[in-house]
């Protein structure tokens, strides 16, 4: 084997390799035990402080703890002794597998795509294994030799790999911190829903800005080189992205002045419904039909908006009712009050009331005025319920409802000519 350039390990190297293999298996066994012991309580703690209905970290907590423990134990084992090349390869392979599995679990727990998780795991595996066997200098030199130049900047495969890893790592970090902040804000009892949403948006914007500058620094891009780019970006914002940034600022203003909050019942133009979400670009309004209207934030800032629950959730409704002139008006008004009070959604205070509003052409016009506290459940349903009950009460008590009719009075009837009179 020496003739073809392959060194045969000596007996001591084989023994050392066997010891390294045994220690690696022992490290994995200990890591498995740690994961089984610490995984469930850490998963419970995570769900309490950072859980979400679509959470992916909590169910993977045992795997995360196991892989992290294995990576730490194997890294200590690798650095604790000057292992021969074969033993270093065995421990390094076990360490690379642990790191790759850890990266995959974190990426999938953050709901990153499978190809992103696989790419990160592959890069981590190669880097850890190469570093364990020797160092990354030969690999870095090979990757750096293949590249291209744009202007005064040279981009190699190593540079592109560094940029890709940095972007994905920062994306995962920002997503994780956003989730922690969102859950912490929701647990803050001193903030209402609007203030919580405002804090979440501001923190998200701040994290993106910080991640941008950290990524530039890690990649090694000179900030002075971005002077021209920033000027072009400013020009693009002034023209092409004007509406986008206008909606962003309008959304922040809406959250700050609290004129519209999630859960409010508003009407804008032909859209009427409950505010489901105030986003960066638009406000989501869910109608009674289940349709979701996305209205740009700028429209809510510039057009007339009716907020049914701005200062209070109590809403007054007026239900018109006409009664025939021949009916008992006092009895009809009592029946109107009875129909209004019988509705479960009508508030007892303020008390419903019945007003006689006009003597119409065909009927005596009334209005049943009621108050409700849940306009998001619909206002037409309350009116329909009261009118249906009133129809039954009117029929049971003989109250006549008006309908279109005309009285024709003939003052005189002209006599027929003699020739048209029938013969006797």
* pLDDT tens digits, one per residue of 386-409: 999 999 998 888 888 877 666 677
Question: In angstroms, rounded to a whole number, what is the distance separating the alpha carbons of residues 301 and 305?
Answer: 9
Check residue 71 and give its pLDDT. 87
Alpha-carbon distance values, 186 to 55, 236, 280 (Å):
16, 36, 19
Residue 51: predicted pLDDT: 54
CATH of domain 222-311: 2.30.30.60
Q: What is the pLDDT along the chain (424 residues), one digit of tens a residue?
A: 444 344 555 567 778 888 888 888 998 899 899 888 888 888 787 776 665 544 567 777 888 888 888 888 888 888 888 878 788 888 888 888 888 888 888 877 777 778 777 877 887 887 777 777 765 555 556 655 666 665 566 666 666 666 776 777 777 777 777 777 777 777 766 666 666 766 777 777 777 778 777 777 666 666 565 555 566 566 665 665 667 777 777 777 777 777 777 778 888 877 778 888 777 678 888 877 778 888 888 888 777 888 777 666 677 888 899 888 888 888 998 999 998 888 888 888 888 889 898 888 888 899 998 888 777 677 778 889 899 999 999 888 888 887 766 667 776 666 666 665 566 5
* pLDDT of amino acid 1: 41
Number of residues assigned to the chain: 424
The pLDDT value given to residue 256: 72
Please, what's the largest Cα pairwise distance for the chain? 148
Q: What is the pLDDT of residue 4?
A: 39
Question: Which pLDDT does position 42 carry in this prediction?
Answer: 83
Contact 292, 284 (CB under 8 A): yes
Q: Break the chain into its structural domains and give their ranges.
A: 7-135, 222-311, 315-396
**Residues 144 and 157: beta-carbon distance below 8 Å:** yes
- Indicate the class that CATH gives domain 315-396: alpha beta
Please give the pLDDT value at position 15: 82
Q: What is the pLDDT of residues 235-275, one digit of tens each?
A: 665 665 667 777 777 777 777 777 777 778 888 877 778 88
pTM: 0.48
pLDDT at 53: 47
């Amino acid at each position: 084997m020496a003739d073809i350039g392959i060194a045969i390990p000596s007996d001591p190297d084989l023994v050392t390799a066997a010891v390294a293999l045994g220690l690696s298996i022992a490290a994995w066994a200990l890591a498995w035990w740690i994961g089984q012991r610490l995984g469930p309580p850490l998963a419970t703690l995570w769900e309490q402080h950072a859980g979400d209905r679509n959470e992916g970290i909590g169910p993977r907590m045992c795997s995360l703890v196991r892989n992290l423990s294995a990576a730490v134990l194997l890294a200590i084992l690798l650095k604790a002794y000057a292992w021969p090349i074969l033993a270093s390869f065995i421990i390094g392979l076990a360490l690379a597998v642990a790191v790759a599995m850890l990266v995959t679990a974190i990426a999938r727990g953050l709901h990153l795509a499978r190809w992103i998780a696989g790419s990160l795991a592959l890069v981590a595996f190669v880097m850890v294994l190469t570093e364990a066997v020797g160092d990354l200098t030969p690999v870095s030199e090979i990757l750096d030799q293949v590249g291209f130049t744009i202007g005064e900047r040279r981009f190699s495969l190593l540079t592109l790999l560094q940029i890709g890893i940095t972007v994905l790592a920062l994306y995962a970090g920002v997503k994780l911190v956003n989730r922690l902040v969102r859950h912490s804000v929701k647990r803050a009892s001193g903030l209402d829903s609007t203030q919580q949403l405002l804090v979440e948006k501001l923190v998200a914007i701040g994290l993106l800005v910080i991640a941008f500058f950290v990524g530039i620094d890690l990649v090694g891009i000179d900030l002075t080189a971005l002077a021209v780019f920033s000027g072009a970006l400013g020009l693009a914002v002034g023209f092409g992205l004007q509406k986008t940034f206008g909606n962003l600022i309008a959304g922040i203003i809406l959250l700050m002045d609290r004129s519209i909050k999630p859960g409010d019942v508003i009407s804008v133009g032909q859209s009427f419904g409950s505010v489901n979400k105030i986003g960066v670009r638009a406000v989501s309004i869910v109608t009674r039909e289940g349709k979701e209207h996305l209205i740009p934030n700028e429209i809510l800032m510039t057009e007339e908006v009716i907020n049914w629950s701005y200062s209070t959730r109590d809403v007054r409704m007026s239900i018109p009712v006409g009664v025939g002139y021949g009916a008992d008006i006092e009895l009809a008004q009592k029946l109107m009050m009875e129909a209004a009070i019988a509705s479960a959604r009508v508030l007892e205070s303020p008390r419903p009331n019945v007003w006689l509003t006009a003597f119409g052409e065909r009927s005596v016009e009334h209005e049943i005025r009621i108050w409700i506290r849940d306009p998001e459940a619909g206002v037409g349903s309350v009116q329909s319920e009261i009118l249906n009950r009133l129809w039954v009460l009117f029929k049971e008590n003989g109250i006549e409802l008006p309908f279109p009719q005309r009285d024709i009075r003939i003052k005189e009837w002209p006599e027929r000519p003699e020739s048209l009179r029938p013969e006797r």
